[in-house]
Structure 1
Amino acid sequence: MRLNRRPRLLTALLLTPLLSAPLAGCFASGGDGGGTADAKDGSRLRVALAFPPAENLSPYGADATILSRLGVTEGLTALDANGAAAPALAASWRREDDRTWLFTLREADFQDGTDVTPAAVAASLAHAGEARPAPAALAGVTLTAKAEGAGTVRVTTNAPDPVLPLRLSSPSLAILSPKAYDAKGAADPAGTATGPFELTDVEGGTSARLDRFDDYWGGRAQASGIDARFIADGTARANALRTGQVDVAEAIPVAQAAGLDADTRRETATTRTTSLLLNTRSGAFENASLRAAARTAVDTSVLAKNVYEGHADAGTGIYGPAVTWAAGKRTPPTAATRPGKPAGAPIILATYDNRPELPEVAQVLKQQLEKAGFTVKLTVGEYSRLESDALAGKFDAFVLARNTLVDTGDPVAVLAGDHTCGGGYNLARLCDKAVDAAVAKAEGTDGTAERQDAVMAAEAAILRTDAVVPLVHQRVITGVGPRVSGVLLDPYERTLVGTGTRS
C-alpha cells in the first residue's frame, strides 16, 4: 500500500494536453491519446519481448530499454518523432552558458509515493554518473546536477555539451526515487520509477508483472497492467501472437511475418544497423590486413535480399536511411589497408538468436568468409549469455544489431560508446587515435549541420579501420493483436506501450 500520496492527478490531467503531447502521440499506432481520470480498469496487456534481462533489470545498461519500452521509467526528457528533445519529467529547460543548463521540473510522484523533487533528481543523476560500467549516454561526459530552488535542477558538464537535453532522454538516465539505491549505489527500479506502469514482480529471465501506477503525472493508463514474457525465440513469439497468448509481440522474424494476418503486422523503419564487429586487440583481426580481407569478402546485398527478404537495406554506413540526413553527408571512406591473405586463419564468429535473422546472417557470413580463406567456427546463443564474453574479447567477430540513436538520440553517442578507447560498449575493442580525435571533435561541435558533418567525418574514420562492417539497415516488424490499439511504434525503439495502449 502506498501512503501519503498527494492528490495530483487532476493537475497532471489539466497539464497533459499542453506538456505531454510529444510523449503521448509521436509514435502511436491506432492513436494514443493518453490516460483519463475516469478510465475504466481495463484488461491487462500481454506483451512478448525478445530480450530477457541481461543485468537483473539494472537501469544503467541494456536492460534500461526494457524498462523504458514497458512504461516503467522516464528521464528528464524524451525524444519526439523528429529526434528532438521533448518534455518528460522536465517541463522545460534553458541553456545558461556553454556548460550549464537549467531544467524546470513538472509536478510528479515516484511510484513509492514520494515527490519528484530537485534533490531526488540530482541524486539520481549522480548515481548514474557513478555507475560502473558507466551508462553509454555518459560516454566522454561528466555531469554534475544540483537542486536549484523549489522546482529546478541545474546540470553542469565538464565540457561544453550542446546536446545535453538529448543526452538526458536516454533510458539509462531514468530518474528513480532515493529508495531505489542501496548502500553501494545499485539501483532497483521496482516501485521506485515514475512511469505509468510499476514493476511489481520479476521471474528471472522468464517474465515480469507490472501494475498500473494510478498517480502517473500523465494520466491513468487504460490498461490495468502488463504481463510481460521474455521469449528469445522469434518463432515462438510469432506463434504466441498467432494463437492469442499475447497481445503484442516485438521483433517478429521476417520468415514468420507472412504467416500473420496483414492487420496484425506493423513494419517500422528504425535507426538500427546490423554490423560485423571485428576484434582489433587479439586473434586474427588484430591484423588490419585480415580485417580488410573480411570486409571485402562480405556481400551485403545477399543479406538484405535473401535473409531479410527485402525488409532491410544493404549496409552503407553506421547510420542508415532512417537517419535521413546521413546519406547526403557521407563520403565513402578510403581503405587504410590492403586486404591480406587469410591462409586458413581461424576465427570464432558469434551472434545471438534473440533477433531471429542474426543466426542466418552469421551463417551466410561464415560461408563468405570461408570462401575468402578463413577457417570459421560459429557460436550462437542468447544475448544475455554472450554479452560478457563479447565485451571481454573472447570472440574474433560478432554480429550485432545496434540502434544507433537509442542511447541519447545524439548520433555522436554511439560513436563514443562503441568505438573509442574508453567506450563502455566497444565490442570491436577498437582503440585508434584518429578515431578518438574525430569523435572528440564531433562531441564538441555545436550547430546542427556542423555537428552532423563532424559525425560523418568520425563515421568515415571508424570505417577506415575495418573494425566495423555495416551489413544491413533494419526495419522492425511488430505483431499487434486485432483488438489492440495505441501501441507505440518508435523508430528509436525506446517505447512500446503507453497510457493509451489497450486491448
Structure 2
Amino acid sequence: MRIPHGSRILAALLAAPLLAGCFASGGNDDTSDGAKDGDGTRLRVALAFPPAEQLSPYGADATILSRLGVTEGLTALDANGTPAPALAQSWRQVDARTWVFTLRDATFQDGTRVTPAAVSASLGHAGEARPAPAALAGATLTVKPDGASGVRITTTAADPVLPLRLTSPSLAILAPKAYDAKGAANPVGTATGPFEITKLTGTESATLDRFDDYWGGRAQAAGVDARFIADGTARANALRTGEVDVAEAIPVAQAATLDAVTRKETATTRTTSLLLNARTGTFKDPALRAAARAAVDTATLAKGVYEGHADAGAGIYGPAVTWAAGKRTAPTGRATPGKPAGAAVTLATYDNRPELPEAAQVLKQQLEKAGFKVTLEVREYSRLESDALAGKFDAFVLARNTLLDTGDPVAALAGDYTCDGGFNIAQLCDKKADQAVKTAQGVADTGGRQDAAMAAEAAILGTDAVVPLVHQRVITGVGARVRGVLLDPYERTLVGTGTRR
C-alpha cells in the first residue's frame, strides 16, 4: 500500500509502555496499597488537553492515546532519543531505500492478531489521512507484507531515519476494524497497548480497562479513569485533595502548593516560542519581525512567568537536547530592526498551559513598549488551532515539543518552518531555510545530521519568524502512594505497565 507525501499538526505521542525502565519513575516498585487478589487498583489521571478529534490518532489526540498507554507503533523512542523495539521486535536495512521490520507476536484489543497485512493497511490509512501525519513530511513510503512476520517499507528516496520516523504516535498501529469507509480511525478497543479505552464521555473523561493479553505483560493497574481538566489550578487542586493520583502539567504558580514528594520536575525538549506570521499582515515585513524579536526579553519570562522552572530561550532546541548547545551557530541573514510606528498586531495563545496567557501578557507589554499596537486573544487550544494554522493571527505563543513527532530534529524543522510544513503556524516560506532543511534531511550520519540541523536552525532563526522564549521543565503531580509513572523528557508516555498505586 502506498503512503503519499504528507505533513501534520501538533500531535502526538506514541505509547511506549516498554520504556518503563528507561525514564525516571514516581517511586519504587513496592506492591501497591489496596490491591485485591493481584488485580491492582484503578488509576485516576488528570490530563490538560481534552480530545479535539474524538481520539483520532492523526491529530493532537495522539498525545492522549500515547500517554494513557493505549497505542503503539512499530518502534518507540528510548531515553537517548533513539528508536527501540515496539510492535517490531527488530529491523534491518536492505538497501538505501528499503527496510524490513520483523513483527513480534502481539494481539489487537479486539482479539485479532497483529499481522503484516494489518500493519501495512494501518500505515496506509495514516498516509491517506488529511492532513497527513507530520512524521511523513518529506517522505513517500510503500508498505507491503514480507513473509509471515515481516513488513517491507520502501521509500522513494533514501531515508536514514525511517525507524525514528516510525516512532511517531500518529503512526500507531490499529486493528482493521478501527477504520471506517472514509479511513477515519477509531482507537476504542482496536489498539495494542496495555490499556484499552472502553468509554469516552465527550471532552470530559475516558474510561480504560487493563488489556490482559498485552504482549508486554499484564499491567499492574486494573484500569485508568482519565479526566480532562483544562484549568491548571483545578488539576493541582484535584491532586492535592486526593481526587486524582496523577496530574500532568502543573502550573508553576501551583508548584509550591504541592508537597515536595508529590512534585516531579522533568527537563523536556519543549520550547515555548513566539511565532510571527511571515506571510500576511504586519510581520510580513522582515524588518518588523526583527523589531519584535529585539523587543523580547526572554530572561524576564524565564525568571518571572516561569518562576525559574524554565531556561531562557537559546534556540529552537533547548538544554534537554544535550548535543545542541555545542553545535549551535549564530542566526544568518537577519534584517535590521525597523520602526513599528503603531503597527497593529493580534497576538494569540491558549490557556491549557497556564503560563502561556501570562507570558503573552508580558510579551504584549514588551511589544507595545517597542511601538506596536497589540490585541491579545486567548482560547482553549482545540478552539484555536485551526485559526492558527490558517494564519489568522499576526503572532502566536506556542509551547512545542521539538522532538515530539519523530524524535528527529530535522523532521521538526521541516514540519514547522518550511513552505510545505504541516504545522507551519509562522507561515514561513523562505528559500534559504527550505534548502538548509532539505540538505539536513539527506544526511545519514548522526553527528553530521545534528550539524546540518543546527545550520538549518540558524537559517530559520535568521528569518525572525520564530523567537525562542523559554525551554520548559514540566511539573507532574504524582500522589505519594503512586509508583511507576513515566516521566518522559519527550512527553510521549505517562502511564505504563508498571504504573500503580
How far apart are residue 23 of structure 1 and its match?
Answer: 2.1
Answer whether contact 2:168 2:405 (CA < 8 A) is retained.
yes
Letter of the aligned partner of 1:349 in structure 2?
A: L
Question: Helix, strand or coil for the counterpart of 1:487?
Answer: coil
| Distance in 2 separating the partners of 1:389 and 1:329 | 35
How far apart are residue 39 of structure 1 and its match?
Answer: 7.7
Equivalence for 2:200: 202
Question: Helix, strand or coil for the counterpart of 2:224?
Answer: strand
Letter of the aligned partner of 2:186 in structure 1?
A: D
Answer whether contact 1:39 1:221 (CA < 8 A) is retained.
no
Equivalence for 1:153: 151
Equivalence for 1:10: none
Q: 1:39 to 1:294 in 2, by over 3 A?
A: farther
| Distance in 2 separating the partners of 1:33 and 1:346 | 58
Equivalence for 1:457: 455
Answer whether contact 2:58 2:129 (CA < 8 A) is retained.
yes
How far apart are residue 21 of structure 1 and its match?
Answer: 9.3
Letter of the aligned partner of 1:322 in structure 2?
A: A
Letter of the aligned partner of 1:239 in structure 2?
A: N
Give the 5 Å matches for 1:294-309. Answer: 294-309=292-307
1:356 aligns with 2:346: no
Q: 1:70 to 1:39 in 2, by over 3 A?
A: farther
Equivalence for 2:389: 391
Give the 5 Å matches for 1:79-478. Answer: 79-478=77-476
| Distance in 2 separating the partners of 1:239 and 1:464 | 43
**Structure 1, residues 268-300: CA drift from partner, whole Å, max 9, x if none?**
000000000011111101111110000000000
| Distance in 1 separating the partners of 2:163 and 2:286 | 38
**Structure 1, residues 102-147: CA drift from partner, whole Å, max 9, x if none?**
1010000000000000010011111111111010111111111110
How far apart are residue 33 of structure 1 and its match?
Answer: 10
Question: Helix, strand or coil for the counterpart of 1:91?
Answer: strand
| Distance in 1 separating the partners of 2:169 and 2:207 | 20
Q: 1:328 to 1:34 in 2, by over 3 A?
A: farther
| Distance in 2 separating the partners of 1:169 and 1:442 | 20
| Distance in 1 separating the partners of 2:54 and 2:458 | 36
Letter of the aligned partner of 1:182 in structure 2?
A: D
Letter of the aligned partner of 1:25 in structure 2?
A: G
Question: Helix, strand or coil for the counterpart of 1:295?
Answer: helix
Answer whether contact 1:23 1:88 (CA < 8 A) is retained.
no
| Distance in 2 separating the partners of 1:292 and 1:421 | 20
Answer whether contact 2:351 2:381 (CA < 8 A) is retained.
yes
| Distance in 2 separating the partners of 1:326 and 1:461 | 15
Equivalence for 2:3: none
Q: How many residues align?
A: 482
| Distance in 1 separating the partners of 2:478 and 2:422 | 34
1:24 aligns with 2:20: yes
How far apart are residue 31 of structure 1 and its match?
Answer: 4.9
Give the gaps of 5 or more residues in structure 1.
Answer: 1-19
Answer whether contact 1:28 1:489 (CA < 8 A) is retained.
yes
Q: 1:32 to 1:449 in 2, by over 3 A?
A: farther
TM-score w.r.t. length of structure 1: 0.94
Answer whether contact 1:73 1:171 (CA < 8 A) is retained.
yes
| Distance in 2 separating the partners of 1:229 and 1:21 | 20
Letter of the aligned partner of 1:64 in structure 2?
A: A
Question: Helix, strand or coil for the counterpart of 2:384?
Answer: helix
Answer whether contact 1:211 1:226 (CA < 8 A) is retained.
yes
TM-score w.r.t. length of structure 2: 0.94
**Structure 1, residues 238-259: CA drift from partner, whole Å, max 9, x if none?**
0000000000000001110000
Letter of the aligned partner of 1:459 in structure 2?
A: E
RMSD of aligned C-alpha atoms?
1.5
Q: 1:396 to 1:183 in 2, by over 3 A?
A: same
Equivalence for 2:7: none
Answer whether contact 1:34 1:498 (CA < 8 A) is retained.
no
Could you tell me the percent identity over the aligned residues? 80
How far apart are residue 48 of structure 1 and its match?
Answer: 0.4
How far apart are residue 206 of structure 1 and its match?
Answer: 1.0
**Structure 1, residues 196-215: CA drift from partner, whole Å, max 9, x if none?**
00011111111111111110
